[in-house]
């Protein structure tokens, strides 16, 4: 059993290992220093001789326990407890004015407690020592003055030796603390450099992904425009009015999807849609495409939309159907029309959209139109429901949409 060389431990961080090393080396230091001091104390003061002999045996016992358990905290708690009790007992119950060594050892115990057991333990030990010093100053100091004239050269020599002994231990603990602090500072600098390098890589990758996503949205928009052009070319060969109407509605729906990809790749935040800007653009494009004789204004009020990309297109198509239906069926007279759209967020992933037009609806030829079927399908995709009312002032829709952050 080698009780001098620091043994390997299971500690996986430098700080705990340093505290273990410190406790081990202090035990070794105290043991061998005591062996040197013991002969001097045998001739100078037998009471100190037995005290140091007891301390030597304790150091040896602690070292054996530390070797077998590899747990420094238990030994540290015992050392601190014994240190507090022995210094306080010497200060309060041994009558002499030469208590310099007691004060030095009190400071040593405080430093060791802070280093090995942490801030709380260090504060508790400091308070305990302050209480002992206060009691000494109030109740014991006057009694000790009676022994001042009886102090001998031997007493002074003994006190100096023990004080140097305590200061040496304190200096050793401080050196280990500075060593640990230097290591922590170097680790901080190294970790900070690594984080900066990682952040640089992450930022570069994010920029590359952002550029790639913008390019994808741009290409999707271009492909949708190609599809729109193909449908228009195909429609130019048709003469049936109903077929032409269906081609026209299909191209408008594709244009609505194309517009949303255009707005996304033009925005700074690819995960957030400026709903106000999108609906204004969509509404004005649809109004122009229908070439109405009636002026129609569109007003949009919207909270910022922060939801999954997979819900952008269903919302776009839903609004396209609502506005298209109003333009086809509501504004058939010469009155100036208005469309109001309001989107409000009222919970996590929950939105309420209110749509209203001021037109006078002309009933469609079919009871159940493809447009209404599409609205029902889209609101299911948006995990919601809706209600529709016809008022004297126009037609009113209210949509409740939930779980739009999935």
3-state secondary structure 298-362: EEEEECCEECCHHHHHHHHHHHHHHHHHHHHHCCCCCCCEEEEEEEEEEECCEEEEEEEECCCCC
Q: Is 320 exposed, middle or buried (0-12, 13-18, 19+ CB in 10 A)?
A: buried
What CA dihedral angle connects 289, 291, 292 and 295, to 10 degrees?
A: 80
Q: Could you read off the pLDDT of 279-305 as tens digits, one per residue? A: 888 888 888 887 666 788 888 888 776
Query: For the chain, first and last CA: distance in Å?
Result: 62
- Give the mean model confidence (pLDDT) for residues 213-227: 87
Per mean pLDDT, which range of 29-38, 85-94, 125-134, 389-398 is the poorest?
A: 389-398
| Residue recorded with tokens 């100078």 | 44
Whether the CB-CB separation of 94 and 153 falls below 8 Å is answered with: no
Closest among 377, 372, 251, 379 to 322, alpha carbons compared = 372
- Give the mean model confidence (pLDDT) for residues 182-197: 85
Q: Could you read off the pLDDT of 250-272 as tens digits, one per residue? A: 888 888 888 888 887 787 776 66
pTM: 0.52
How many angstroms separate the Cα of 323 from the Cα of each of 72, 359, 377? 76, 12, 17
Within 118-152, residue ranges assigned H as helices are: 119-135, 141-144
Instruction: Enter the tokens of residue 248.
Output: 């026209």
Whether the CB-CB separation of 398 and 343 falls below 8 Å is answered with: no
What does the mean pLDDT of the chain come to?
84
Q: Tell me how far apart the alpha carbons of residues 91 and 133 are, in angstroms, rounded to a whole number.
A: 8
Per mean pLDDT, which range of 73-87, 191-205, 301-315 is the poorest?
A: 301-315
Please tell me which of 77-91, 370-384, 390-404 the model is most confident about, judged by mean pLDDT: 77-91
Q: Tell me how far apart the alpha carbons of residues 217 and 309 are, in angstroms, rounded to a whole number.
A: 11
- Give the mean model confidence (pLDDT) for residues 201-219: 86
For the chain, domains (ranges, CATH) are 14-197 (no CATH), 273-406 (3.30.565.10)
The yes-or-no verdict on residue 123 having pLDDT over 90 is: yes
pLDDT for the residue 406: 62
Which neighbouring-strand residues pair with 300? Answer: 341
Per mean pLDDT, which range of 44-48, 99-103, 160-164, 297-301 is the poorest?
A: 44-48
Whether the CB-CB separation of 17 and 11 falls below 8 Å is answered with: yes
Q: Tell me how far apart the alpha carbons of residues 291 and 112 are, in angstroms, rounded to a whole number.
A: 88
pLDDT for the residue 365: 47
Give the torsion sign (CA, 384, 390, 392, 395): positive
SS3 of residue 251 by DSSP: helix
- Give the mean model confidence (pLDDT) for residues 40-53: 80
């Amino acid at each position: 059993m080698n009780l001098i060389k620091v043994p390997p431990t299971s500690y996986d961080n430098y700080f705990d290992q340093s505290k273990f090393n410190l406790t081990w080396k202090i035990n070794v230091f105290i043991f061998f220093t005591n062996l040197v001091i013991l002969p001097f104390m045998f001739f100078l003061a037998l009471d100190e001789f037995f005290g140091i002999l007891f301390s030597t045996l304790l150091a040896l016992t602690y070292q054996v326990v530390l070797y077998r358990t590899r747990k420094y905290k238990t030994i540290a708690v015992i050392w601190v407890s014994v240190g507090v009790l022995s210094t306080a007992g010497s200060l309060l119950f041994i009558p002499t004015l030469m208590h310099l060594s007691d004060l030095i050892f009190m400071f040593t115990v405080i430093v060791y407690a802070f280093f090995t057991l942490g801030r709380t333990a260090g504060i508790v030990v400091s308070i305990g020592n302050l209480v002992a010093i206060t009691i000494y100053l109030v109740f014991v100091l006057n009694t000790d003055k009676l022994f001042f004239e009886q102090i001998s050269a031997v007493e002074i020599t003994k006190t100096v030796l023990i004080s140097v002994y305590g200061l040496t231990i304190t200096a050793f603990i401080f050196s280990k603390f500075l060593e640990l602090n230097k290591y922590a500072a170097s680790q901080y600098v190294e970790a900070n450099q690594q984080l900066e390098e990682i952040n640089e890589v992450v930022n570069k990758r994010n920029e590359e992904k952002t550029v790639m996503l913008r390019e994808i949205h741009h290409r999707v928009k271009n492909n949708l425009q190609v599809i729109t052009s193909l449908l228009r070319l195909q429609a130019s060969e048709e003469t049936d009015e109903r077929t032409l109407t269906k081609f026209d509605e299909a191209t408008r729906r594709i244009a609505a999807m194309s517009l949303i990809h255009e707005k996304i790749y033009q925005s700074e935040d690819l995960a957030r849609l400026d709903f106000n800007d999108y609906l204004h653009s969509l509404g004005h494009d649809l109004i122009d495409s229908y070439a109405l004789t009636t002026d129609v204004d569109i007003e949009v009020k919207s909270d910022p939309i922060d939801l999954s990309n997979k819900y952008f297109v269903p919302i776009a198509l839903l609004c396209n159907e609502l506005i298209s239906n109003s333009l086809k069926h509501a504004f058939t007279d010469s009155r100036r029309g208005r469309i109001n759209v309001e989107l409000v967020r009222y919970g996590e992933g929950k939105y309420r959209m209110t749509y209203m037009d001021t037109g006078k609806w002309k009933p469609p030829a079919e009871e159940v139109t493809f447009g209404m079927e599409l609205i029902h399908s889209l609101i299911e995709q948006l995990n919601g429901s809706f209600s529709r009312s016809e008022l004297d002032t126009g037609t009113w829709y209210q949509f409740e949409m939930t779980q739009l952050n999935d």
